[in-house]
Structure formats: C-alpha cells, structure tokens
Structure 1
C-alpha cells in the first residue's frame, strides 16, 4: 500500500485483509469444519428470513447459481436447511432454515465470541463505534448501480 492511495481505497484494502484474517480465524474455531460460506448463508437466513429461492440467494451473495446450489446441497446434507418445492413455480425450490441450522449458527457465533471479545480488547477498539460507518459503506456499495 502507498501513502498516496486514495483513503477509501486504503480503507477497502484494510477491510479485505481483515476479512481474510477473520475468515481463517472463524474456520479454525469451528469444531466440525463449518466453512464461512456455509455460515454466511445460515446467518443471512437468520437475519433476513428464509423461504428464498436459490437464485435469490445467489444474487444476494453475488455468486453464480451453481455455486449457491453447491453450498445449499452441503447445508442440506448436514440437516441445516431443507429445500421445498416453490408453490409459485414448480421448477423452482425454496430454502428454509431448520432448527438444527439455526442452532448451528448460534453455536458458530458462540465459538468465536470469547475470542473476538479478547481480540477487540487487545486491539483497543469498540466494535459498536465502527458499525455505523461500516454499515453506511456497505449500503452504499450494495446500492451502487455498477455492482452487477
């Protein structure tokens, strides 16, 4: 990185590095090999509700439908989601979180909570103070018409 780089570029670069380090830390903390892409689908469904189609989830995560289908198959094999026929389109499916999937999402958060609290203390940061500006940046990026 260069001191002459635009501040937003430098910020996004730092976020990218943080994401990679956090991904590795999260996955190492999971006792059963839960991968971050699988967790993010479970987390998305807890936050925003279930009943979406694989295509809707793929668009939300900016993935191909094939990639999302693979992720959903792995989650279904572990009993974390169930796929049901879409009542509006017999060719499509809807994705629903199972009680086991919800519980596994909560366990994943709990597995990392203590570690993350200690990390925040060592880094001398208040995560709650960072949330508002980061959410504003995420919202702006999400709404950017050049996103797709």
Structure 2
C-alpha cells in the first residue's frame, strides 16, 4: 500500500481480503450445490427474523441487482430452500420466504462451517475477536446509514 492511500481504503481493502479468504474456506465446506450467496439469503431471513420480503428488498439488502437476486432465488426455489408467492398487498409483486428445508439447510451449513470457524478461533484469540466485533458492528451500522441516505 502506498502511504498516499486513504486510511478508509486501507481498512476496506483489508476487510475485502478477509472476505475473499473466508469465502473460499466457507465455499469449500458447504454442501454440494450450496453457494455463499444462497447461504447468506437463508442467514438473512433467520438472523433478522423476516417472514417474507420482496426480491427487490432482498436485492437492496445485499446491494446486488434484481436480476442477480432473481437468479439466486430461482436456484433456491428449485432446491426447496425458499418459496415465492404472490404479494397479497400488491397484485404484481412477489414475496419470498424461507422454507423449513431452507432453515434446515442453514443449520447444516453452520455445522459444516464449524471447522473453518474453529481454525479462525485457533488463529485469533477470543480477546481479539471480542474486541473486533463491536468495532465492525459500528462500521456496518454507519455504512448502512450512508447507503440508505437519499442521493444529493
């Protein structure tokens, strides 16, 4: 890194590299046919407790295009992980919900992730992880607010 690089760039570059490293190790242990994108959709529903969301809401939450989300959801529907039904409040809209099979798959994925997570626990002290978590949560919350800010 050049000394002229902005500090925020250096921090986000490190986070990006960490994301690449963890994505590769996670992908290696996920069940056959399961992708990180599919797992994150399942985790999103379970973590936030959403019953149903539109494909557009999901695309916005993940900061991806609607066609990309539609493609991911189509594979998930085929695998029985999510269901897509008409939105009763909007005749043209659709609502996506996680199925019991999707919840079960999330749990299977978490079990499969135990080894890479244990490796991370062994490489990083609990103190380091405990210190990082609130800092990262604060960064995420602030970036969420920036993302949701209307354009000027």
Same fold flag (TM > 0.5): yes
Q: How does 1:26-105 map to 2 (within 5 A)?
A: 26-48=26-48, 49-105=50-106
**Count of residue pairs the alignment pairs up:** 147
Match of 1:11 in 2: 11
Equivalents in 2 of 1:63, 1:80: separation in Å?
Answer: 20
Specify whether residues 116 and 3 from structure 1 end up closer, same or farther in structure 2 by C-alpha distance, changes over 3 A only. Answer: farther
Instruction: Name the SS for the 2:95 alignment partner.
Output: strand
- Structure 1: tracts of 5 or more residues without a match: none
Equivalents in 2 of 1:146, 1:58: separation in Å?
Answer: 17
Aligned Cα root-mean-square deviation (Å):
1.7
Could you tell me which of 120, 127, 133 is aligned with 1:131? 133
- Residue by residue over 1:76-111, the C-alpha shift from the partner in whole angstroms, topping out at 9 and shown as x without a partner, is 000000111100011111111101101111111111
Q: Quick check: 1:81–1:98 contact (8 Å CA) kept in 2?
A: yes
TM superposition shift of 1:4: 4.5
Instruction: Name the SS for the 1:59 alignment partner.
Output: helix
The answer to whether 1:121 aligns with 2:122 is yes
TM superposition shift of 1:21: 1.0
Instruction: Name the SS for the 2:51 alignment partner.
Output: coil
- Structure 2: tracts of 5 or more residues without a match: none
